[in-house]
Each structure stands twice: as structure tokens, then as C-alpha cells.
């Protein structure tokens, strides 16, 4: 039975945490801008009648956008544990602002995919800095006993903001068209939330968001800290079983999501006319992503109660087992069924991610938390890109490949086995 007084108690607790409320505001605005930018870019590259995008082009776009930062992020993430995270986020948001302008200009002048994707790549790099900084900073502005609950609140608000940002993209696209010129208007509209995020970053006091000195603090030059970022991050992950196990489960979910995303995009692009691709195709893709996002949002709301009832270990195990069964249900590759499965998989995957977030926020020292969150971010996208690239190599032109759905189920089961073995309380 739901406690009717719970929302009131939550609101009262938020009122007493000023810095956390500011963090929520920054997260909401930042992720609204990110959702708007990512959806605008997808419309500009994948669902643009002036540009063609087959399976390899789609997978290549994902790789160009996310793989470089994913490989370099754990090195640069060391800066989140060395410099004032407030200053890092101010600099990252300023960089986002300038590069969004460049991306919009490139689209307005009809630049090629490579130039547009390169500019967008740097935007995404700055965005990842902001998101990792926000996650690493959360334990610095809430009591330890409230980390799981407040992480769920922050994730729910951020996910909802990204969802509304992605869907808001449809308004300027409808008004100005699906061409390069219309896509540039969408990208220029991202300037408003990014500029607001920059202002919100400035409001924090020095060192309010950490990092704070501890016995685990890494000393030495900034060059040393950055050059050893991957090593310290990977060592920390390996030394904390709860983190290593949940990240293995999260990687499995992201690989299955990569397979499913490319399947849906190829299926909806398998139409006869450019107009259908630009309109119906994008609409169906947005609905699929929205279904996945809605599932994730509802899981975020339920996460504190679920984790409190079953614990992080059982919650992640149950979510991965459930996801394996749901994945197999999509074997017919009927879009309505895939949309429903997307909703359920979004919920299951989000529970695993929240268990991973909680493990990193509670079980990792603040001096190394930025390292670990950037390792998570890298694993998040490397898993997704690897899966989409392999899928692009074997997927038929119409996307009808039940074997890929079965492969997703196998991946979930492998993730379940790794999490069950690595994160078991018996290992503690």
C-alpha cells in the first residue's frame, strides 16, 4: 500500500537541502538541453530526406558521437576528483554553448556528416563531463542515509527533462521542416537550456560539490592524475565487488538496448519514400525511445521502495532475469510488441543502473568517485556502440532478424550470471 504522506515528507526533506535542490535544477535544465540536442541531431542525420543513413551509417554515427569520449573520459574524469567540480561544470557548459553554435552553423550551411558529427562529438564530451560531475557531486549535498532516495529523485527528474527535451524537438521540426535548415533551427534552440545551465552552475559556492580531501586522494600533477585516470578508475571498480557486478549487468543491458535500437531504426527506415522516413519513421523511433524512457522513469520512482524491500543485489538480479524474458518476447519483431518490450526493458535496465549508481555513491570514496563514474559512462557507451556495430554487420536490409533478439536474451543472461557471481554478498 502506498503511503499518501510520502510525497509530502519527500518535499519537506527537499526544502531542507538547498544545495541539492540547486543540483536538481541544474540537472533538469542540462538534461532537457541534452535530450533536445540528441533528438535534433538524430532528425538531422538519420531522418533527414537530404541525407541517407543505412545500418552502417547509423552505427557509425553512434560511434563517432560517443566512442571517442568513452575512451578518453576516464582519463579526463580524474579532473572531477582533482578540481572544484563547480568550476569543471562551468567550463563544460561554456564549451557546450560554443560548440552548439558551431553545430547549428554547420547544419545551416549544409556541411557534410563528418563535420557535423565531429562538432556534436565535442558537445557530447562536454555534456558527459556535466552528467558525471552531477552524479559524483550528489553525495556531497545529501546525507548518506538519503543517497539512494535522492539519487532516484535526481534520476527521475533528469530522465523526465531529457524526455521532454527530445519531444520538444518535434515543435521546431514541424514549424521549420526536416531539411538541414530546419535541423539547424532545432540545434540553435538548444542554446537556451545550455545558457541557463551555465548560469545555474555559477550559483554554487566554491567546493560545495567536492571533491574533498581524504586518504584516498590522488596527489601529484594534473598531468599525472589525467594520465592515470583509467588505471585508478578501473582498479577502484575491480576492488569494489558491488560496483564491478552492477556495471557488468548494466553493460549487458546497454548491449541489448543497442541491438534493439538498431533493429527498430532499420525497420522504420525500411519505407518507400523520403517523406515517410522523415515523418513516420522519426515518429515511430521517438515513440520507441519514449516508451523506453517512460519505463525508466517509472522504475526510478519505484526504485527506493524496491531496493529497500529486496536490497541492491536481489533487485539487480531480478531485473536482469526479467529483462531476459521480456527480450525474448520481442522475437516476432512486430513494432507494437517491441514498443511494449522497450517500456519493460527500460524499467528493468533503469533499476540495474540505479543499483550501480548507489554502489558507486555509497561504496566508493569521494576522492575516487569521479574516476568511477567516468568509467561507468565509458562502459555505458562502449557496450552500446559495440552492440550496434556488430548488429550493423549482420542485420538484413529490412531489419527482420529474430536471431538478433535471441542474442539480446543471451547477453542479458550473461550479465545476470556475472552480477550474481561478482556482487554476491558472500564475497564481502
Are 267 and 404 in contact, with CB atoms under 8 Å apart? no
Residue 10 lies in a domain: no
Our count of domains for the chain comes to: 1
Question: Which pLDDT score, from 0 to 100, does residue 149 have?
Answer: 84
Handedness of CA 73, 79, 80, 86 (dihedral sign): negative
Most confident of 145-154, 241-250, 365-374: 241-250
Query: What distance in Å separates the CA atoms of residue 264 and residue 13, rounded to the nearest whole number?
Result: 42
Mean pLDDT rounded to a whole number for the chain: 85
Question: Which pLDDT score, from 0 to 100, does residue 83 have?
Answer: 84
Residue range 61-118, pLDDT digits in tens: 788 777 776 777 766 667 777 889 999 999 999 999 999 999 999 999 988 888 998 8
Residue 4 lies in a domain: no
CATH number, domain with residue 126:
1.20.1250.20
pTM for the model stands at 0.76
Residue range 2-45, pLDDT digits in tens: 454 555 666 666 777 889 999 999 999 999 999 999 888 888 87
Residue 261 lies in a domain: yes
Bigger pLDDT: 279 vs 401: 401
pLDDT band at 1 (very low <50, low <70, confident <90, very high): very low
Question: Which pLDDT score, from 0 to 100, does residue 44 have?
Answer: 85
Residue 5 lies in a domain: no
Question: Which pLDDT score, from 0 to 100, does residue 369 have?
Answer: 84
Residue 357 lies in a domain: yes
Question: Which pLDDT score, from 0 to 100, does residue 413 have?
Answer: 98
Q: How many CB atoms lie within 10 A of CB 82?
A: 23
Q: Which three cell numbers stand for residue 268?
A: 522504420
Lowest mean pLDDT among 40-54, 216-230, 350-364: 216-230
Residue whose C-alpha is closest to residue 91's, from 81, 79, 101: 79
Question: Which pLDDT score, from 0 to 100, does residue 368 have?
Answer: 80
Question: Which pLDDT score, from 0 to 100, does residue 279 have?
Answer: 47
Residue range 256-314, pLDDT digits in tens: 999 999 998 888 776 544 444 444 556 677 778 778 888 998 998 899 899 999 999 99
Are 244 and 238 in contact, with CB atoms under 8 Å apart? yes
Question: Which pLDDT score, from 0 to 100, does residue 267 have?
Answer: 84
Residue 12 lies in a domain: no
Percent pLDDT > 90 in the chain is 45
Residue 1 lies in a domain: no
Which residues constitute the domain of residue 144? 18-210+217-427
Residue 390 lies in a domain: yes
Question: Which pLDDT score, from 0 to 100, does residue 271 have?
Answer: 55
Amino acid at each position: 500500500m502506498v503511503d499518501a504522506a510520502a510525497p509530502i515528507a519527500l518535499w519537506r526533506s527537499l526544502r531542507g537541502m538547498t544545495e541539492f535542490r540547486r543540483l536538481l535544477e541544474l540537472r533538469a535544465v542540462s538534461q532537457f538541453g541534452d535530450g533536445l540536442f540528441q533528438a535534433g541531431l538524430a532528425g538531422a542525420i538519420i531522418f533527414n530526406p537530404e541525407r541517407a543513413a543505412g545500418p552502417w551509417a547509423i552505427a557509425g554515427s553512434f560511434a563517432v558521437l560517443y566512442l571517442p569520449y568513452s575512451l578518453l573520459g576516464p582519463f579526463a574524469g580524474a579532473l572531477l576528483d582533482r578540481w572544484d567540480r563547480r568550476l569543471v561544470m562551468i567550463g563544460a557548459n561554456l564549451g557546450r554553448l560554443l560548440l552548439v553554435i558551431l553545430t547549428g552553423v554547420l547544419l545551416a550551411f549544409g556541411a557534410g556528416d563528418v563535420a557535423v558529427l565531429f562538432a556534436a562529438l565535442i558537445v557530447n564530451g562536454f555534456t558527459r563531463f556535466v552528467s558525471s560531475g552531477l552524479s559524483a557531486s550528489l553525495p556531497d549535498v545529501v546525507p548518506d542515509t538519503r543517497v539512494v532516495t535522492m539519487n532516484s529523485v535526481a534520476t527521475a527528474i533528469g530522465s523526465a527533462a531529457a524526455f521532454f527535451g527530445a519531444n520538444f524537438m518535434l515543435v521546431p521540426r514541424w514549424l521549420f521542416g526536416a531539411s538541414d535548415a530546419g535541423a539547424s533551427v532545432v540545434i540553435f534552440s538548444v542554446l537556451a537550456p545550455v545558457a541557463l545551465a551555465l548560469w545555474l552552475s555559477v550559483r554554487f559556492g566554491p567546493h560545495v560539490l567536492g571533491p574533498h580531501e581524504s586518504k584516498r586522494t590522488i596527489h601529484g600533477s594534473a598531468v599525472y592524475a589525467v594520465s592515470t585516470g583509467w588505471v585508478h578508475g578501473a582498479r577502484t571498480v575491480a576492488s569494489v565487488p558491488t560496483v564491478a557486478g552492477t556495471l557488468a549487468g548494466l553493460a549487458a543491458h546497454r548491449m541489448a538496448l543497442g541491438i534493439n535500437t538498431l533493429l527498430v531504426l532499420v525497420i522504420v527506415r525500411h519505407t518507400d519514400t523520403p517523406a515517410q522516413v522523415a515523418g513516420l519513421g522519426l515518429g515511430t523511433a521517438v515513440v520507441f525511445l519514449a516508451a523506453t524512457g517512460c519505463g525508466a522513469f517509472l522504475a526510478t520512482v519505484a526504485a527506493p521502495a524496491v531496493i529497500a524491500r529486496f536490497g541492491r543485489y536481489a533487485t539487480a538480479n531480478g531485473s536482469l532475469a526479467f529483462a531476459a524474458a521480456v527480450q525474448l518476447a520481442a522475437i516476432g519483431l512486430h513494432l507494437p510488441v517491441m514498443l511494449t518490450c522497450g517500456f519493460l526493458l527500460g524499467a528493468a535496465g533503469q533499476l540495474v543502473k540505479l543499483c550501480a549508481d548507489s554502489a558507486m555513491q555509497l561504496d566508493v570514496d569521494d576522492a575516487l568517485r569521479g574516476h568511477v563514474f567516468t568509467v561507468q559512462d565509458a562502459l555505458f557507451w562502449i557496450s552500446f556502440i559495440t552492440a550496434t556495430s556488430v548488429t550493423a554487420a549482420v542485420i538484413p536490409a529490412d531489419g527482420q532478424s529474430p536471431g538478433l533478439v535471441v542474442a539480446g536474451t543471451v547477453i542479458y543472461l550473461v550479465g545476470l550470471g556475472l552480477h550474481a557471481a561478482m556482487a554476491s554478498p558472500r564475497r564481502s
